Amino acid sequence: MRCGIIEIENLSVTKTVCGVLKQVNQEESDTEKAAQDGLSASSSTRRIHVCLNHVSHRFGGRTVFDNLSASISSGQTGIITGSNGSGKSTLLRIIAGLLEADSGDVTFETDGSYLDTQMRRHMIGMVAPDLTLYKELTGAENLTFFASLKGIKADRAMLVEALTEVGLRGRGRDLVGGYSSGMRQRLKYAFALLGRPKVLLLDEPTANLDSDGMAMVERIVRCHQARTDGALAIVATNEPRETSWGEPLIHLERGE
Amino acid sequence: MKASTGPNDASNWMAQARCLFLKDLRAELRTRVAINSVGLFAFSSLLLVALATRGLREVMTLRMLDLPIDIIRPADVTAAMFPAWSAASKMGLLWTLLCFAAFAGLAHSFVHEEEAGTVTALRLSMSPAGVYTGKLAFNLTLLFAVALLVTPFYMGLTGMQAGNWPVFLTLMLAGCIGLGSTATIVAALAAKARGSGALFGAIGLPIITVFLMLLLNAANTLYSDSTDAAAHTIKTVQDVGGLISFGILLISVSAFTFRFVWEE
């Protein structure tokens, strides 16, 4: 153990409330079936512990944050708050393994093993303002492409379901370049949920979304929290409605 | 303890590369950004070459027809011009043209990912090996297509002969591989540095100079009038082999270093 872990036991919530997360690949379907048959203890139900160990980062001469330590485990939703420019997005990128901290590190630990960057990324679904999908492809083509990269065979039924769940049914054949900013944000959720990732990282989760979209995001987060296979979420936001989705993880002050 | 196996290990990076290649191909056929920039550059250069060398071709034609060219051009001028327009020189000019055409279009593959912000989604979903292989495959395909279109036109315009066809084709193939691999890794570096065009040329120059020197060596051997067939064959194998080795070396080094470029 490299850091103290606060473990919270999962609530026994049934999965029937989670229509939004039905898009599973064959492997995970089999795993779920096996779990239902009482053959649990597969790798997909392993608990994950994410630890931030004395993480510091600076851009040029400006320290964004210094000596941050925190931890979060399966079943929890951690909220990162802080003013504009305090480093919330940067911290999420460091957690995702997209950016290396100047000092300290972030570890993903499961069953005593620390995951390398590629393994870590494979279990992450991320929505962020600087994450963009291909404008020259259609919504369905984007999902098919990223699903195939993750080893998921995206058939028509799965695509329709994924697009329906984010409110883009009937728009899958349109180029993303022709989408509104809200539709692009919805498509990012369809992308983030591909392969049913265990770790959900949301940066400004309801940016550009209307009230229906905001409700959709909340439903996604609630369903993610209700999973019993070791899922966790980290949300970077300042919206009061969103901060109520989980427990405060870190509050960032603007650095110097 | 680090988990050693993962979703992006050797078992599926080839599949990821294939997906990226097909995605790039689909996007390119839809937007035609790289095709247009490479094609426009290549064919405008061809036109300029045709206009600029018109006089040289006239002199060549007159010489081939055994006409008294001294009537048209002063002897000292033509004497100076002929060596500069040998078959090897034509080959050199062709590759200079292909180099600039490649640099005009191939940078797009990585720069576009950075500028459009799609690089984050790619990094979350792909291994560096898959990205490098997919982009390399796309750039090589584009370069082969351009070379296939431009070379016959160029040969027609300049009267360049192939010489020994198998050696000529091997040289073209090795040249495309060398140029494509150079352009791919340099494009990745330039994209990360967010410098795009200008930086692309600056970083690529040292590598491309070595590549062009090897290529011109091979071209000189291809078109040399050696009377010793055995020595000529050995020299051809050495030069073309050197060119192929350079391409393989560049791809190998790029494959090893790409991870650091991609992750920074």
Cα A191 to the chain's mean position, in Å?
Answer: 10
> Is pLDDT of B58 > 60?
no
DSSP conformation class of A63: E
Task: For residue B207, count other CB atoms closer than 10 A to its CB.
Answer: 18
Q: State how far the Cα of A256 lies from the Cα of A85, in Å rounded to an integer.
A: 10
Phi, psi at residue B249, to the nearest 5°?
-60, -45
Alpha helices in chain B (DSSP H): 13-31, 33-52, 54-64, 75-84, 87-105, 108-116, 119-125, 128-158, 165-192, 196-222, 229-263
| Among the listed residues A228, A152, A236, the one whose alpha carbon sits nearest the alpha carbon of residue A190 | A152
Q: State how far the Cα of A187 lies from the Cα of B79, in Å rounded to an integer.
A: 68
| pLDDT of amino acid A126 | 96
> Is pLDDT of B213 > 90?
no
Q: Taking residues B189-194, what's their average pLDDT?
A: 75
| pLDDT of amino acid B217 | 86
**A122–B7 CB contact, under 8 Å:** yes
Q: State how far the Cα of B154 lies from the Cα of A40, in Å rounded to an integer.
A: 67
- Taking each helix axis from N to C end, the angle separating B54-64 and B75-84, rounded to the nearest 10 degrees, works out to 100
Reported ipTM: 0.81
DSSP conformation class of A102: S
| pLDDT of amino acid A3 | 39
Minimum distance, in Å, between the CA of residue A84 and any CA atom of chain B:
21
Q: Taking residues B94-110, what's their average pLDDT?
A: 81
DSSP conformation class of B2: B
**Alpha-carbon torsion A140, A142, A145, A151, what sign?**
negative
pLDDT band at B200 (very low <50, low <70, confident <90, very high): low
* C-alpha distances in Å from residue B92, one per residue of A59, A119, B95: 46, 47, 5
**Alpha-carbon torsion A64, A68, A72, A78, what sign?**
negative
Nearest CA in chain B to A127: B121
pLDDT band at B83 (very low <50, low <70, confident <90, very high): very low
Comparison of pLDDT for B170 and B160, the residue scoring more: B170
pLDDT band at B64 (very low <50, low <70, confident <90, very high): low
**B124–A126 CB contact, under 8 Å:** yes
**B1–A131 CB contact, under 8 Å:** no
Contact list in B for residue A115 (CB cut-off 8 A) is 2-3, 6
Sequence spans of domains, chain B = 12-60+88-263
| pLDDT of amino acid B53 | 73
Contact list in A for residue B2 (CB cut-off 8 A) is 113-116
Establish if A179 touches chain B: CB-CB under 8 angstroms: no
Helix (H) or strand (E) holding A245: none
| pLDDT of amino acid B61 | 52
| pLDDT of amino acid B210 | 86
Establish if A148 touches chain B: CB-CB under 8 angstroms: yes
| Among the listed residues B186, B41, B22, the one whose alpha carbon sits nearest the alpha carbon of residue B110 | B186
Q: Can you tell me whether residue A144 is helix, strand or coil?
A: helix
Establish if B62 touches chain A: CB-CB under 8 angstroms: no
| Among the listed residues A201, A253, A239, the one whose alpha carbon sits nearest the alpha carbon of residue A87 | A253
Lowest average pLDDT, out of A13-22, B9-18, B216-225, goes to: A13-22
* C-alpha distances in Å from residue B223, one per residue of B58, B160, B238: 21, 10, 15
Q: State how far the Cα of A234 lies from the Cα of A157, in Å rounded to an integer.
A: 30
**A134–B118 CB contact, under 8 Å:** yes
**A150–B7 CB contact, under 8 Å:** yes
Q: State how far the Cα of B264 lies from the Cα of B259, in Å rounded to an integer.
A: 8
| pLDDT of amino acid A29 | 45
| pLDDT of amino acid A6 | 31
Comparison of pLDDT for B201 and B171, the residue scoring more: B171
Q: Can you tell me whether residue A215 is helix, strand or coil?
A: helix
**A150–B2 CB contact, under 8 Å:** no
Which regions of chain A are under pLDDT 50? 1-43
Classify the phi-psi angles of B87: left when phi > 0, otherwise alpha if psi is within -120 to 50, otherwise beta. Answer: alpha
Percent of chain B with pLDDT over 90: 20
Whether B240 and B174 have beta carbons less than 8 Å apart is answered as yes
Contact list in B for residue A193 (CB cut-off 8 A) is none
| pLDDT of amino acid B228 | 80
> Is pLDDT of B258 > 50?
yes
Lowest average pLDDT, out of A47-61, A73-87, B30-44, B169-183, goes to: B30-44
| Yes or no: domain A47-252 corresponds to CATH 3.40.50.1820 | no
pTM score: 0.81
Contact list in B for residue A137 (CB cut-off 8 A) is 23, 26-27, 30
Q: State how far the Cα of A141 lies from the Cα of B175, in Å rounded to an integer.
A: 34
Query: Which of A109, A136, A200, A201 is the best residue to mutate to test the B interface, defined by the most B CB atoms within 10 Å of its own CB?
Result: A136
**A131–B121 CB contact, under 8 Å:** yes
Structure tokens at B126: 């792909």
Structure tokens at B30: 């839809």
